[in-house]
Each structure stands twice: as C-alpha cells, then as structure tokens.
Structure 1
C-alpha cells in the first residue's frame, strides 16, 4: 500500500512564494502592512495652484475612491505576496506575516519599536506608506508608491530604517464614469507590483552605499 505524507495544515496555509523552499518554518520573519492613505492630484496647463486644484477636485476625489477600492488593504497584500519578496529584498529565508489593518500614518515615523508582538530574533517590517496617483499635463499619468523597510538586528531596540518609492506610468486608469473598471484595476495592481520591484532595487542601493 502506498502512503501519502502531507505537510501540516499550518505550513500549507501560510506558504507563499516569498518563503523558504523547504517545508521547515524559517527562523526569520517579514511582517507587512498595507497603506491607509491614497492621494490623487491632477494638474493642467495652469501648473498647479488653488485654481487648478479646485478645477480637478471632484475628479481627483473619484480617482482616490477608485484607488482605495482596487488597492484596498487585502489587494495590496495579495499583490505583494505574489512576488518573491525575500529575494527582492535580499533577506534571509523568512516567514511572511501579513497584517490586514493599516497602521496609522501619523505613527509610522514616530514609533521605533516593533509594530507586532513577534519575538523573533530575525525580524523585519515592510510598510506601504502612501499610494499616489498623479496626472500632469506635460508628463501624463502615473502611480507612485512609497515604502519603508525596517530591519531589527539582534540585541538592538531600534531598527535600521530605509525609505524609498517606485513609480510607473498608467495607460488605462482612470476610466470614465460608468465604464467597466476591470482592466484599470488590473493595471493598478500590476503597476503597484512594479513600483515595489523598483523600490526594492532602491533599498539595495541604499544598503550598498552604507
């Protein structure tokens, strides 16, 4: 009789592409939080200012709402965990731990201690801090995303902090009112992922320059 051996359910349930290849849980942890803040800014040929902002206020409000829907907290986490985060961030084999509730943006720079109750000795935090849509008359449409990576070294109370952003152009978003948003939503997720890959490269440059 052939026997089948199954991995424990907990390992299967938490396995992601960014985790170690073997079945053993890695000793390191990477905790991820999504952004709570979405911004949209459209500038015409007036080049900004109060008059320009007032003229685009209603449209930018709708675009912020669409961003918050397509890239809601779970959408951000799903997009990130589909990437090989450990490889992109040059981390040791790490268990990915996601947090569905965004951190208060006002506390991200103020609180230096761990934002989870994990006691892992090998521990890092990735925070999405801002998601920003911009349309400029001269440069076109783009999505920019800001990230913060905090690494806690053994025996240290405060982390090593790196901040950067990634930004790429948009061709579909935003759609006109009443149009199907499926393609625009998919584009936002794709660009969000590309923004992170760009940000990860910036993190690597910051590390190399130290």
Structure 2
C-alpha cells in the first residue's frame, strides 16, 4: 500500500478529530404558573389562563422563541464548563418524555464530541408567604465521544421576581425585564451547580 493511499484512508478519521465539540441546546415550551395562598390552593397555570382570583399575566411571556433569544445572548458553553464547545441552538422545544426516556443522543447526527442542555419546565410560582419566583427545571448530558452519556445532571433552580407580574399596563416593560433577568439568573445558577466537584463515596 502506498503512503499516499494510506493517507487517503485515514483522512476521514482525522476529519472527525478536527470537528469542533458541540453543545446542543433546546429551549422550553412556555411558562406555567402555580399559586400557593390562603384561597387558591395551587392550581397550575391559573395565572396564565386567567382563572378568577388570579392576577392577569401575559399569555406567554417566555415563549419558546423568546427563550431561544435569551439563551443565544448568554455564554452558555462557559457557564456549563464546556468552553471549547460550539453552541448549536435549536428552534423547537422537546417534550419532557423525550428528554427523560432517550438513552442515547437526541441528535445522533451531531459532532463526534457532543453534549446536551435542555429546559424541561418553567414555572412562575407565587407564594403568599415567600413571594414570587421563576423556577426552571434543566437537564444536561455530556457524551464526550460516546453514544451513551458519561454524565447526566438535572435540577430545579429558582430566582426571585420583584416586578413580575405587572400590576398595571405601564409596568409591563419593567416586569418583563424582571422576568428575563430571573431567567438568566436561573441558567447561571444551574451552571454553578453543574460545575461543582462531583462527590464520590470513600
């Protein structure tokens, strides 16, 4: 076998090694709500759907497209401890069952070096005692160059809201800014949790 022929045969493997690592990111499907108080009990989505007794909310203040825009503005790869990964931000959300039940890569056509970051659920929570929060359930999987995740991690984060939901029409812009800021804080908190050293049993 000639040297030229050998070099031709090994070129695909060399190309694979040169491909950048990819961080695939999926936004969530929208914002739900739950209220804990003296009268309302805890009906999910009451504020979003305009149930009697709930403060009115924008029907979808954190729609999938808005989440994608916010995610694109953040240093996600760095926050998740993957600074060498190229961001691949998807337009659509994933359903929770797909996230929880897919054993392998959700995008098997991705780079040989591959990780996933997904938003499973977003909840606006209002509590008569503790106040208002944006809670987000994140899921993360790092595959490296394998087909089965070498690390999986998921948890809720929570950021306090001070201006959302708006009490008047004039306050809506400030309230939405407050909500977006809480979204960013939640993402950053998840990154902090993810980067903590993994505890091992002696």
Give your verdict on TM over 0.5: yes
SS in 1 for 2:176: helix
Residue 26 of structure 2 corresponds to 33
- Mean Cα displacement is larger for which, 150-159 or 73-82? 150-159
Larger radius of gyration: 2
Residues 28 and 131 (structure 1 numbering): CA distance in 2 closer, same or farther, change over 3 Å? same
Gaps of 5+ in 2: 1-17
TM-score by length of 2: 0.77
Query: What TM-score comes out, normalization by structure 1 length?
Result: 0.74
Alpha-carbon distance in structure 1 between the residues aligned to 2:99 and 2:195: 21
SS in 2 for 1:157: coil
Match of 1:82 in 2: 73
Q: What is the deviation of 1:26?
A: 6.5
Match of 1:129 among 96, 114, 120: 120
Residue by residue, what CA displacement relative to the aligned partner does 1:31-89 show, whole Å, maximum 9, x if unpaired?
A: 11011153211122358367xx7xx8346594372xx2x32212212212222212211
Correspondence 1:209 to 2:202: no
- In 2, Cα distance between equivalents of 1:63 and 1:132: 13
- Is 1:35–1:127's contact at 8 Å kept on the other side of the alignment? yes
Contact 2:105 2:147 in 1 (8 A): no
Which of 48, 57, 66 in structure 2 is aligned with 1:63?
57
- Counterpart of 1:10 in structure 2 is none
User: 1:153 and 1:59 mapped to 2: Cα distance?
Assistant: 49
Higher relative contact order (CA 8 A, sep 6+): 1
**Gapped regions of structure 1 (runs ≥ 5):** 1-24
Q: Is the partner of 1:109 in helix, strand or coil?
A: helix
Q: Find out whether 1:190 has 2:190 as its counterpart.
A: no
RMSD over equivalenced CA pairs, Å: 2.7
